[in-house]
Amino acid sequence: MATFAAVVVGTLVLAGGSAVLTGSDLPGVPTGASSEDPGTSPTTGPTAGEGTVELTAPAGRATIDGAWSPGTEPGAAAIVPSGSSFPPSAPSCDTEGCALWRSTVLNQRPLLVTDRAAIHLGLALLIAVDLDTGQWLWRRGHNDPRGVSPAAALTAYHLDDRTLVIAYGHRMRIHAADTGSVLGEVDLAPTQITDIRRHDGQLVVSGRTLDGEQPGTRMVGLDDAGRVRFDIEVDRPVRQAAPATSTTAPLLALADGDLVRFDATEGFERWRRVVGQHQVDGTTLLDPVTGEITVVGTRDGRDLLTLERPGAVAAGVRGGVLVVTHPDRVELHDRDGIALGGVTVAAPERTVVDTTGRIVTVATLPAPGVAEPQPDVRIGRRSSGSIALPSVSTSTSVPLPPDVEPAPVLAMRRADGLLLAGPEPGWAWVMDRMSTEVVDLELPLLPSTEVHHGDGLTLLRDGRQLTVLGAGGSFRVRGATQVASLDPLMLHGGNGTLRLDRALIDRPDDDGSGWVRPPFGGSPRPGAYPASSSTAGVDASGQEVGRAP
């Protein structure tokens, strides 16, 4: 059984707002060129409302004489040094080199991003831009119901290297991602489309249905031209809450009470498992009466691992490790069912698990309102094994019973270690995985500050100003507080879009001592101690065998 080393964490007492950063529109009207006006274009084309008539694309790269696409400027124009007043007419940031380019045409409308391009979903135009230069790749006029009726809401959208898919209620249009040309249109009335993603490389769209009094989900498989491949109804999909960046996730769902994998091309059942009274977390089944746990393989539906853990209240795979939750402890099992050990936890709903390389971290965040918040952290090492366990959920919270909601806590990987945050908005700590030293992360919060952690960055929003913090520093942005993408980093708002260089703040400031320095400079906080040499764990009967004071 592997052991878990105890970590004592420093004190942090901060006040802050409780909101979560969202993509809601900000007030403000662009000055200069209209958000739907492409400005002075090198080409001519149809005006709004001319539908799918394709416009000639301007050059995709800046010419040697420095020409830029309409409304696009080099990043130097967007940089206003720290301490200076920000100009009100366009987005700006305050650190040398922080902006790669700025656009005053791309505004607060949805901005979809891949690793090569970004596409702006305006009311009159679709505009694709090169991610590195901001140069327009193509533009198209399109019939957008939002421009006719504000009630015609944009309900779902998806962008990958092949297609751009936009849904308005029950209607959907598919565009080629590299040209913007229309490939097909689909009407799935009466189902309102609320999710678009790829499974096994194929487009699958879905929306809620109501058959009698039993709600369900309609899933429709399409080819890239919009031709329907299959149309099925299930109880609910089994997948990540938000569309994954991967396009190869298997198509899993609960159907007629069973766990089923469907073929994403033709829609037939590849395998089916009876669920019965079992709780389902991804492809992990738990019988809450007997404690029997089964992890099912996604490829063929066979059992990869079977355990009996009487008293378990939840179980699921997190980062390739099976996590078994009891009312007062968490157990971990690696490949082939090898027991890694377990730790006593005060509150499973405030406990998170992270697996990075061979290191496993279990942390219980402090209860809200305590005077001296300190997370209880345990670390251990993974074992080797031949059978990998499938991870469907991307949550870092430990599995919980169906009637228990997780607290707003998380574990997030950064360039300098592991960030632990919550449940209070201003509570955050960073642990160095090698030395297991932990420091509290000082966040410059005001009472109205909204805090969001994601993709290795921390965002603090105060009105129209956004502070972006990474492992190596921070910069402030004004006039662009909606997040299009964190990696690559793009922010937008009513007056335009900024493409930012997150490499400036991703590099950790490490002086060789092993201490993680706060992003605003200064020394590590007093009260941040290295890990104790004492260990803690539980034996096979669930009794704790050691714990640091």
Residue 324, both tokens: 């078994």
**Out of 148-162, 216-230, 348-362, 532-546, which region has the weakest mean confidence (pLDDT)?**
532-546
Other CB atoms within 10 Å distance of the CB of residue 502: 20
Are the C-beta atoms of residues 340 and 1 closer than 8 Å to each other?
yes
**pLDDT of 273 strictly over 50:** yes
**pLDDT of 533 strictly over 60:** no
pLDDT digits over 493-515, tens only?
999 999 999 999 997 654 443 33
pLDDT digits over 55-95, tens only?
333 333 333 234 579 999 999 999 998 777 766 678 999 99
Q: Which residue has the tokens 């959208």?
A: 157
Residue among 267, 244, 236 nearest 391 (CA): 244
Q: Is the dihedral of CA 255, 259, 264, 268 positive or negative?
A: negative
Other CB atoms within 10 Å distance of the CB of residue 63: 9
pTM: 0.80
Q: DSSP secondary-structure letter at 418?
A: E
**pLDDT of 467 strictly over 80:** yes
Between CA 346 and CA 327 the distance in angstroms is 9
**pLDDT of 403 strictly over 70:** yes
**Out of 189-198, 226-235, 239-248, which region has the weakest mean confidence (pLDDT)?**
239-248
Q: What are phi and psi of 215, to 5 degrees?
A: -70, 150
**Out of 86-100, 290-304, 524-538, which region has the weakest mean confidence (pLDDT)?**
524-538
Region 163-186 average pLDDT: 95
Q: How many residues in total does the chain contain?
A: 549
Residue among 520, 471, 521, 476 nearest 500 (CA): 476
At residue 246 the predicted structure's pLDDT band, cuts being 50, 70 and 90, is low
Residue among 191, 245, 246 nearest 219 (CA): 191
Sheet holding 269-274, edge to edge: 236-237, 251-255, 258-262, 269-274
